[in-house]
C-alpha cells in the first residue's frame, strides 16, 4: 500500500495529540504501529481510516486524498477491526457479514451469502454461522470481525489492538488469522502491543511516542533500536 502523510496535526481540547507527522511509504504490504499508551496510535489510525479528520495536513492512502474523498466512498475501499464488541450481538454470524455486503455494497442476497460462507469456512468458522454473535467466544468473535473486514475485499485493513481484550490462547488464535491474511497478500496497518507478532507479521514498523513518530523502519529496528525512546519501550515491554 501507499501511505503519505504531510505535516499532519491533531489536537483534542487544545492538547496536541499528533504533532507534525510526516511519512512516505510506497510499497509496504503490512505496517505495525507500536508505542506506549497515549502515544497517539489509535488517533493516527482513526485519521488513516477517515473516522476523523486532521486539524491540518494531508493524508493519502493509496490513490485517495483523504481531504477530498467522500468518506462513504472511502469506507467501501477499506476495512476496520477494533478491539472488541463490534458485531451486532443479536444477529447470526452469517448475517453480521452479509448485512454489510447487501446494504453497503449492494450485493444480492445470494452473492452475499456465498462470499460470507466461503470466507467463514476458510477461516474455520463454518460451524458457527448460525450462532448469534453474542454466543461466540472472544476469539471467535474477533475472527468473525476480521472476516467481516475482509469480506468487502478492501484495499487495506486497519486493526486497532485486535487482541487486547483477549486471553493468551485466544490472542494466538486471532494473531494466526492475521498471519494467514498476510500469506494471502492482504494489506494491513495494525496497532499492536504484541511486539513478537509485529516482528513476524510486519514489513514496516512505526514507533510512536508523545504524538510523534520517533523511529521507523523494517522489523530490524525491533532488534536494533536506534533511539533511546524505542530502546526504553522495548526493554519495558519485555520486562516480564
Ligand atoms: N476523542 C478524544 N477526545 C479527547 N482526547 C482524546 C480523544 N481521543 C484520544 N484522546 C487523547 O489523545 C491521546 C492519545 O490517545 P490515543 O488513543 O491515540 O493513544 P494510543 O497510543 O492509542 O494509546 P493506547 O495504547 O492506550 O490505546 C490520549 O492522551 C487521549 O486521552
Ligand atoms: Mg489506542
Phi/psi class of residue 176: alpha, beta or left (left: φ > 0; alpha: ψ in -120 to 50)?
A: alpha
Within a domain: residue 92?
no
Distance 176 CA to ligand 1 centre (A): 28
Q: Is the pLDDT assigned to residue 14 strictly greater than 80?
A: yes
Q: Is the pLDDT assigned to residue 215 strictly greater than 70?
A: yes
Domain around 183: 3-87+136-237
Instruction: Report pLDDT digits (tens) over 111-164.
Output: 999 999 999 998 889 999 999 999 999 889 989 999 999 999 999 999 999 998
Nearest alpha-carbon partner for 160 in 151, 172, 149, 168: 149
pTM: 0.94
Which ligand 1 atom lies nearest to the CA of residue 161?
27
Within a domain: residue 127?
no
Q: Whose CA is nearest to atom 7 of ligand 1?
A: 12
DSSP letter for 133, please. G
Residue 33 Cβ < 6 Å to ligand 1: no
Residue 43 Cβ < 6 Å to ligand 1: yes
Residue 41 Cβ < 6 Å to ligand 1: yes
Q: Whose CA is nearest to atom 8 of ligand 1?
A: 43
CATH number at 195 reads: 3.40.50.300
Within a domain: residue 150?
yes
**Number of folded domains in the chain?**
1
Residue 37 Cβ < 6 Å to ligand 1: yes
Burial 132-158 (b: 16+ CB within 10 A, else e): bbeebebbbbbbbbbbbbbbbebbbbb
Within a domain: residue 34?
yes
Within a domain: residue 119?
no
What percentage of the chain has pLDDT greater than the value 90? 87
Within a domain: residue 115?
no
Within a domain: residue 33?
yes
Distance 80 CA to ligand 2 centre (A): 14
Within a domain: residue 182?
yes
73 pLDDT tier (thresholds 50, 70, 90)? very high
Distance 158 CA to ligand 2 centre (A): 13
Instruction: Report pLDDT digits (tens) over 201-214.
Output: 999 999 999 999 99
Residue 39 Cβ < 6 Å to ligand 1: yes
Amino acid at each position: 500500500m501507499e501511505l503519505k502523510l504531510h505535516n499532519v496535526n491533531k489536537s483534542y481540547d487544545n492538547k496536541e495529540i499528533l504533532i507534525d507527522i510526516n511519512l512516505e511509504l510506497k510499497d509496504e504490504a503490512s505496517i505495525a504501529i507500536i508505542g506506549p499508551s497515549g502515544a497517539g496510535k489509535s488517533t493516527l489510525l482513526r485519521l488513516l481510516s477517515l473516522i476523523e479528520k486532521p486539524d491540518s495536513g494531508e493524508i493519502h492512502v493509496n490513490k485517495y486524498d483523504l481531504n477530498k474523498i467522500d468518506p462513504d466512498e472511502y469506507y467501501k475501499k477499506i476495512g476496520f477491526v477494533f478491539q472488541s464488541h463490534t458485531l451486532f450481538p443479536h444477529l447470526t454470524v452469517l448475517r453480521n457479514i452479509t448485512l454489510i455486503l447487501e446494504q453497503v455494497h449492494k450485493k444480492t442476497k445470494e452473492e452475499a451469502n456465498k462470499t460470507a460462507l466461503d470466507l467463514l469456512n476458510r477461516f474455520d468458522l463454518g460451524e458457527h454461522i448460525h450462532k448469534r454473535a453474542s454466543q461466540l467466544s472472544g476469539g471467535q468473535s474477533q475472527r468473525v470481525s476480521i472476516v467481516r473486514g475482509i469480506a468487502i475485499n478492501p484495499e487495506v485493513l486497519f486493526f486497532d489492538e485486535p487482541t487486547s481484550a483477549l486471553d493468551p490462547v485466544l490472542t494466538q488464535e486471532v494473531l494466526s488469522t492475521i498471519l494467514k491474511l498476510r500469506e494471502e497478500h492482504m494489506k494491513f496497518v495494525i496497532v499492536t502491543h504484541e511486539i513478537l507478532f509485529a516482528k513476524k507479521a510486519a514489513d514496516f514498523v512505526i514507533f510512536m511516542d508523545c504524538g510523534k513518530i520517533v523511529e521507523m523502519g523494517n522489523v530490524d529496528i525491533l532488534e536494533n533500536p536506534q533511539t533511546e525512546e524505542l530502546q526504553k519501550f522495548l526493554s519495558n515491554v519485555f520486562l516480564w
